[in-house]
């Protein structure tokens, strides 16, 4: 049976509509899944026009979404665009929660627009968790060419990071990414865990977190059945991971993983909203206001987000 | 006039001797500089044998260095190898300090061997500073494909980093790399300065160092005549720098730069001992005991270290 994917355009001011149009114009994408597109028809058709594509009649299901948004502004973060983004996402979550669809794929959102529309959460991941009534741990995963990364801490000041690294949090991050990888079809994920300090603290000379917290957490995670290894020095593990030695890298802080991932090919990356009861994916890049509406946006990450959602829908 | 370069093999247990041999067998290298090689003749000839090269008689000046070291152990960190490394380096520093040569290039050292040989300093950079009677600030620079990086903090625990970021230190790091770049022949260096927190702290939401310390430091450095810009988000600045937008990136902590540089091509990197009164360069890679003596080591970084020393010798 084909996976059924609920899709939304993301922020209409950005490159989301043209990317969704370009993706759904690919016969391979349409044959890989049954697509339920929840979108304002005009916005989608506008996206098709920008991408210079036509979707054959009846090949996807379009659930028209119209609200009292007024005209959408282009290439700008507005409450209007944010409200439309959240409303369509809400409909996609509902369709997937009740089993009409198996997974959600969304076009790039604009955080400022979401906040202007009244979202109180720091990011969409926590908004998703609340809308889905999910109280367990959540974590954003970044996926690039089959390599998954997650982080124990995220949007916190660097000076707060060390104090937030606990055995519990490290084990939780390992368990979350292990489950997500299995849900995406990797039977026995190979998970590398980063250290915190340069050269792993060089045996305690500059930092003891590897010895006192991260090492024991990796050991405990293994006892719990999660195939984790490490800690590894952050400045060399991504070379090995890129070369295929691991399926995932668990990082301790935001830039530890993001510096590496963005260098390795940001435009190809996918973000997975991890820990939630349903698979949700999106391209890792943003709304790209600077090129929106020009038809120049690369569909690669959107295609990968879609393919990954299909795999997770099937395996789950 | 050709630059005069003092060269030493580095640790004889590692790949240094074969790399120096391979480099000096290249006619282009020999024609670029007058080379004074300070080395144990047997060790150098052994390196030539491993590299399967012959250096034509009289093309380089070999100053034979013999001490009471006993036989050298291979592929192992020993006090013997460390002592030989330090003694030959000492001779190279002396030759350059008194003007016989203009710059020093050394083969890979092994830190454990140096410590076994009695070096009390954390690294060779501080040992160099002491031997040269230099009391000013010093900083290790990493150079990759023309992109220089330095760091405000280095081998310290991550939890200590934020407390060590001061305006004075940031300005000093900018000034040091500016001077070194000019000494290497870059007339008006374009210097990018990293922030500390993810997304530069997002306007103070998670971390204020960009607003309170780094931003003002960049501003002050510019007033002092250093062409610095920033702070920039650490997870995107290396993409721009790799694409040629900057000559240097000043990072706030070790892994911020090392994650990026190692991914971009560790085997090609060069380390510059920055801040010292004479140019000193070396390949960024280590002694590579796992492949030493097999003739398989890549000479690329050693060649680049040599070329950079020649440029710095000329400009200085």
What are the residue boundaries of the structural domains of chain B, listed by start?
1-134+276-316, 137-273
Q: Can you tell me the ipTM of this complex?
A: 0.89
Contact A22, A51 (CB under 8 A): yes
Contact across the interface for B156 and A206, Cβ inside 8 Å: yes
B1-134+276-316 matches B137-273 in fold: yes
Q: Which residues of A touch B161 (CB under 8 A)?
A: 158-159
Contact across the interface for B239 and A206, Cβ inside 8 Å: no
Cβ neighbors of B58 (< 8 A, separation 6 or more) are none
Partner residue opposite A235 with nearest CB, options B159, B201, B255: B255
Is the pLDDT score of B67 beyond 90?
A: no
Q: What percent of chain A has pLDDT over 90?
A: 92
Cβ neighbors of A191 (< 8 A, separation 6 or more) are A174, A177, A178, A181, A226, A227, A228, A229, A246, A247, A248, A249, A250
The class level of CATH for B1-134+276-316 reads alpha beta
The residue of chain A with its CA nearest to that of B206 is A157
Q: What percent of chain B has pLDDT over 90?
A: 92
Per residue in B145-158, pLDDT (tens digit) is: 999 999 999 989 99
CATH number of A137-273: 3.40.718.10
- Shortest Cα–Cα distance, B296 to chain A (Å): 20
Per residue in A283-298, pLDDT (tens digit) is: 999 999 999 999 999 9
- Shortest Cα–Cα distance, B42 to chain A (Å): 35
pLDDT of residue B314: 78
Contact A22, A122 (CB under 8 A): no
Contact across the interface for A260 and B256, Cβ inside 8 Å: no
Residue A29 backbone zone (phi > 0: left; psi -120 to 50: alpha; other: beta): alpha
Compute the distance between CA of residue A88 and CA of residue A107 in angstroms, rounded to an integer.
11
Q: pLDDT band at A224, cuts 50/70/90?
A: very high
Residue of B152, B154, B159, B195 to mutate when probing chain A, most A C-beta within 10 A: B159
Using alpha carbons only, give the angle B70, B71, B72 rounded to the nearest 5 degrees: 115
Tell whether B245 is within 8 A of chain A (Cβ): no
pTM reported for the whole predicted model: 0.90
Is the pLDDT score of A267 beyond 90?
A: no
pLDDT of residue B316: 56
Q: Which of A33-42, A68-77, A247-256, B235-244 has the lowest mean pLDDT?
A: A68-77
Is the pLDDT score of A315 beyond 80?
A: no
Contact across the interface for A256 and B260, Cβ inside 8 Å: no
State which H helix or E strand residue B41 sits in. Answer: helix B41-51
pLDDT of residue A316: 57
Contact across the interface for A162 and B163, Cβ inside 8 Å: no
Compute the distance between CA of residue B316 and CA of residue B181 in angstroms, rounded to an integer.
11
């Amino acid at each position: 049976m084909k996976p059924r994917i609920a899709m939304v355009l993301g922020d209409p001011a950005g490159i989301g509509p043209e990317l969704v149009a370009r993706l759904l114009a690919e016969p391979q994408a349409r044959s890989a899944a049954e697509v339920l597109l929840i979108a304002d028809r005009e916005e989608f058709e506008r996206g098709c026009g920008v991408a210079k594509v036509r979707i054959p009649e009846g090949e996807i299901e379009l659930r028209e979404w119209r609200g009292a948004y007024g005209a959408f502004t282009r290439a700008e973060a507005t409450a209007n665009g944010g409200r439309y983004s959240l409303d369509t996402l809400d409909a996609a979550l509902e369709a997937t929660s009740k089993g009409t669809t198996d997974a959600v794929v969304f076009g790039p959102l604009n955080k400022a627009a979401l906040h202007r529309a009244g979202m109180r959460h720091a990011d969409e991941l926590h908004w998703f968790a609340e809308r889905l009534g999910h109280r367990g741990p959540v974590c954003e995963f970044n996926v690039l060419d089959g390599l998954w990364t997650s982080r124990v801490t995220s949007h916190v000041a660097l000076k707060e990071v060390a104090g937030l690294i606990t055995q519990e949090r490290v084990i939780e991050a390992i368990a979350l990414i292990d489950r997500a990888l299995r849900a995406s079809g990797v039977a026995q994920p190979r998970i590398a865990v980063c250290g915190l300090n340069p050269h792993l603290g060089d045996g305690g000379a500059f930092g003891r977190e590897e010895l006192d917290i991260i090492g024991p957490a990796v050991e405990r995670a293994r006892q719990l059945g999660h195939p984790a290894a490490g800690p590894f020095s952050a400045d060399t593990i991504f070379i090995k991971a890129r070369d295929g030695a691991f399926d995932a890298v668990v990082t301790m802080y935001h830039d530890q993983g993001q510096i590496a991932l963005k260098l390795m090919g940001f435009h190809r990356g996918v973000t997975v909203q991890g820990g939630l009861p349903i698979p949700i994916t999106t391209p890792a890049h943003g709304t790209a206001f600077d090129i929106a509406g020009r038809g120049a946006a690369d569909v690669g990450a959107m295609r990968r987000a879609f393919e990954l959602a299909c795999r997770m829908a099937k395996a789950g």
